Amino acid sequence: MITLTINGQEHELDVPDSMPLLWAIRDVVGMKGTKFGCGIAQCGACTVHLNGVAIRSCVTPVSAAKGEITTIEAMADDPVGHKVQQAWLDLGVAQCGYCQGGQIMNATALLKRTPAPQTQEIVDAMAGNLCRCGTYNRILAAIERAADTRAVDPGGMDTRDMDEEEASS
């Protein structure tokens, strides 16, 4: 038996130690907000927090998931997570939405450790979260909005140009 603490609640699970946290959360505990995208830590759809750090649940065995696990379902009650969600809604970030839970989890972890990130820090931190719809520019704008350090950057289509402008100013 393995005990997982998810969103403050303990779950006793009869699963092998090697089972990835993703499938324990989805299929055994039955919480569906955390998504399966690739199974090899390449897309970020399965991102959850372990003791406040964003991890890929699809490659994290349950035996290594010791401590507080937080999923997208708990973000509405998290001050930073809620702010990120609100920014997402304000800017209409999501398209199909499948990757967005993971994006929000990663963005929230970023803002918790770096409350006012530079644009490049956001780009670097979010680079491992793929979005097949291509919502990257709005994700960037929403994180900046949630970070509360600047208004919505007109950014448009090219984050690289933004960096150059900032570098030259």
Look-up of token digits 């390449």: 42
Chosen residue from 1, 10, 12, 30 binding other proteins by CB under 8 A: 30
- The strands making up 68-70's β-sheet, listed across from edge to edge, are 9-13, 2-6, 68-70, 47-50, 53-56
Strands 53-56 and 2-6: unpaired
| Footprint of other proteins on 138-157 (CB under 8 A) | 138, 140-141, 152-157
Least separation in angstroms between residue 115's CB and other proteins is 20
72 scored as a contact of other proteins (CB under 8 A): yes
Side chain identity, residue 106: N
96 scored as a contact of other proteins (CB under 8 A): yes
Spatial CB neighbours of 113, under 8 Å, sequence gap ≥ 6: none
Q: CA–CA separation, 127 vs 26, rounded Å?
A: 25
Look-up of token digits 């719809």: 133
Least separation in angstroms between residue 132's CB and other proteins is 4
Let me know: does 71 contact 107? Beta carbons within 8 Å: no
36 scored as a contact of other proteins (CB under 8 A): yes
100 scored as a contact of other proteins (CB under 8 A): yes
160 scored as a contact of other proteins (CB under 8 A): yes
Least separation in angstroms between residue 80's CB and other proteins is 13
Chosen residue from 63, 67, 90, 114 binding other proteins by CB under 8 A: 90
Q: CA–CA separation, 77 vs 83, rounded Å?
A: 10
Q: Which residues bind other proteins (CB under 8 A)?
A: 15-16, 19-20, 23, 26-28, 30-40, 42-43, 45, 71-73, 75-76, 85, 88-92, 94-101, 104, 123, 126-133, 136-138, 140-141, 152-160
